[in-house]
Structure formats: C-alpha cells, structure tokens
Chain A
Amino acid sequence: MTAHRRITDPVEAMAQRVAERVVDLVLDVVDLNALIQRVDLNALMAQVDLNALMAQVDINALLARVDVGALLEQVDLNEVLARVDTGALIDRIDINALLSRIDMDALVEQTDLGAVIARSSGGAASEVLDAGRSQAVGLDQFIDRWVQRGLRRKKPAPVAPRALLDGEDTPPAPQSGAPPARPGEAPAGEATT
C-alpha cells in the first residue's frame, strides 16, 4: 500500500459515514408526505412517455401470470351488468349487419324454429303455392336465358325497377359468358325460385 492510499482510504470511509449520517438526519427532519403533496404529479406524469414505457412491457407475459379465473371470482358480474346501459349498447350495434351474418337456412334446419315455422305457416295450400310459383319463376328464367343467348346481348339487363332495387336483394352479377342476371336468378347449380 502506498503512502497516498494510506491517507485517502480512512478519509473516504469517514466521508461515507458522515454522508450517511447527514442523509439520515435530513430524512428525519423532512416530512416526505408534505413534500410529495407539493409536487405536481400531473406535470411530472406529462413528461413521462407512457408509450415508450409500455413498449418495454411484455403484455403477454404479464397476462400469462394473471389468474383470470381468480380475478373473475372476485368480480360481481351482476353488479357490473347492472351498471351497463344496455339501451346505449344496443344503439351502437348494427342489428341488420348482425342478422345478415346469421345462416337462416341452418337455423331453420337445425333448431326447433323450423317446427314453429312449419306449424304456423299454413299447410298444403301454401306448399302448393310456393311450389307453383317456384316452378313458374324457374321456367321464366329458363326461357329468358335462351332468349338472351339468342339475342347475343352483352350488357346485362336490369333485374328490377329502380325503386325496387335493394342492395341485399339484388341477384349476383352475371358471370362472363353467361346470360344476363334475371329476376331471382340463383347461383349456378341451384334450383331457382
């Protein structure tokens, strides 16, 4: 050990002890709560870049550590739901778009809804009427297809008057080379109305 180190080491150790003692004394004197109350936390938080902070957080790892089951057990869902304004919620839902996603055919075939419809929508008369009209429309389209083919029309004819054209009810556009779409024309391979 050099002569220089022999002098500086004890001085540094003493300075360290003095500093620790001073800090202890200052902390004993200062009221930290009062100090924090004087700090403008909003201004402080405004300076924090939360996005950068969140970018550093692995949300998936965080969520993986969350016991959702235990969390939900602590939640009173009835109370939460009671606070939900269902009217406002429903107002925000596009019911038409929602219903358009329902496969009505499957619904009727696979649920008791079909039985309800079958029992409530008339008997043999409506069945005969449906079949007769379907046959007639099928023949309409058959004849029309050949007429259009014979006339060699390239531009598809309008399927309905302007006022009756509806986005959902408009038949699909005709395929190239196929005859123009006509009233109620169904996709190829299916029976027509």
Chain B
Amino acid sequence: MSPGTPARSVTAQGNYAGSVSRFLAYAIDVAISTGVFTLALAGISYAVQVVTGKQVSWNRQDIAVTVIYVAWEFFYFGYSWAMNGRTAGMAVLGVRVVRADGQAIDPWRGVLRALVFPLSFLLFGLGFLGILVQRERRALHDLIAGTAVVYAWDARAARLRFLAREAELARIPPDG
C-alpha cells in the first residue's frame, strides 16, 4: 500500500483533527484570503484609474490598508465558520469546526472564534499548543469559543474509491 493510502476499514470522520491538517487548512485559507484581498485592491485601483484617471498605489505600510485587511480576514474566517463551520481551506483538508460537544456550531460561536483567534498568536503562538497537547486538540480560541475541530471527510469512502481505482487498473491489459 502506498503512503497516503486511505486505511482499511477506518474512517476518520468525526474525530478530533490534528495539527498538520489544521495548519495546512489555515495556510490555504491565508493564501486564498490574501489573494482575494490583493485582487480586490488591484480591481479597485483599476476602477479608480479608469474613472478618475489617477493612478492609485497601495502601500503595505499604510494603516488603512492594514485595517481593511484585518477586517477582511475577520470577515472571511468569521463568516465561513458562522455559516458553514468551515473555511475553503478546511473544506480542502476535510475538517470542520463544531461545538465542543460535537453539535453543529452556532453562528455566534463562529464569530466569537474569529474574534478571539488572534489571541492564539499572542505569546509566540502558545495558544496553538493546545492542538498538540490538549486532550481534545483544542487551541486557546477553541477553548474560549467552546468549539473543536474534527475531520469531516469519510476515509472509508475514500478507501473504497482507492480500491475501485486499483481494481480498474488491474483489469486493464499491460499493453494498454
């Protein structure tokens, strides 16, 4: 069995998600949200230039840009968690935010989680240590918002897809 092959008769669905899945999901989210923000700024610059004829340049040091960016990040994460319990990056990695008891997340908890999320960055990111050492893999912002992150993809179905592909390949003659 090749590395990464879905496990036999095992589903990770509903179990607490681990650090790598969550970090990768977060990295994808930062890439997506920053990319969308940059595209939006570029679009606004283009529109202003077309309408007024003036060229607008955005400076990363500009406090207004920073404030808008932070607000956008709050909106991106808060809206995603409140509405769906997952961001785009979490959807890719197959993880989801739920209430600590496993029930679907309430919208206000999603917003609260986004608001307290920066706290986990404080003290050199010690708030994230909970993902590694806390029994339920909950970071500081999870503990405050009363949430947890779980795997939301069905590994058993993934394994069946894998076996199906393998069986299909085995039926094809070597000559093609």
Contact with A along B122-162 (1 / 0, CB 8 A): 00000000001101100000000000101101010011111
A110 to B3 alpha-carbon distance, docked (Å): 23
Is B132 in contact with A129, judged by CB distance below 8 angstroms? no
Q: Are B164 and A137 in contact (CB under 8 A)?
A: no
**Chain B CB within 8 A of A18 CB:** no
Tell me if B165 is interfacial: C-beta within 8 Å of chain A.
Answer: yes
Q: Are B24 and A136 in contact (CB under 8 A)?
A: yes
B151 with A184: CB separation less than 8 A: yes
Q: Once the chains are docked, how many angstroms separate the CA of A183 from the CA of B151?
A: 8
Contact of A183 with B136 in the complex, beta carbons under 8 Å: no
Given contacts A108-B164, A151-B133, contact A166 B14 (CB under 8 A): yes
Partner of B7, one of A108, A140, A169, A186: A186
A116 to B163, CA, bound (A): 12
A139 nearest CB neighbor, chain B only: B20
CA distance A129 to B9 in the complex (A): 19
Is A117 an interface residue when CB atoms closer than 8 A count as contact?
A: yes
Question: A134-B155, A138-B3 are contacts. A163–B103 as well, Cβ < 8 Å?
Answer: yes
> How near does chain B come to A184, taking the closest CB pair, in angstroms?
3
Among B10, B93, B100, B167, residue most surrounded by chain A Cβ atoms (within 10 Å): B10
Q: With a CB–CB cut-off of 8 A, which chain A residues contact B160?
A: 104-105, 108, 117
DSSP class of A's interface residues: helix, strand, loop or mixed? Answer: helix
Q: How large is the interface on B (under 10, 10 to 19, 20 to 34, 35 or more residues)?
A: 35 or more
With A133-B94, A136-B93 known as contacts, the answer to whether A114 contacts B18 (CB < 8 A) is no
Q: Which residue of B lies closest to A161 (CB)?
A: B102
Point out which of B100, B136, B153, B165 has the most chain A C-beta atoms below 10 A from its C-beta.
B165
Task: Tell me if B3 and A109 are in contact (CB < 8 A).
Answer: no
Known A118-B167, A193-B7; judge A137-B102 contact (CB<8 A).
no
Instruction: Report chain B residues within 8 Å CB of A157.
Output: 135-136
Residues 22-45 (chain B) with a chain A CB within 8 angstroms: 24
A162 to B100, CA, bound (A): 9
Bound CA span A118–B101, Å: 36
Beyond the given A137-B21, A161-B101, A163-B102, please list 17 additional residue pairs across the A-B interface where CB-CB is below 8 A: A104-B160, A105-B163, A108-B163, A108-B164, A129-B92, A132-B4, A139-B20, A143-B18, A160-B16, A165-B102, A183-B12, A183-B17, A183-B150, A184-B10, A191-B2, A191-B4, A193-B6
Interchain CA distance A135-B18 in the complex, whole Å: 12
- Pick from B10, B136, B163: contact of A158, CB below 8 A: B136
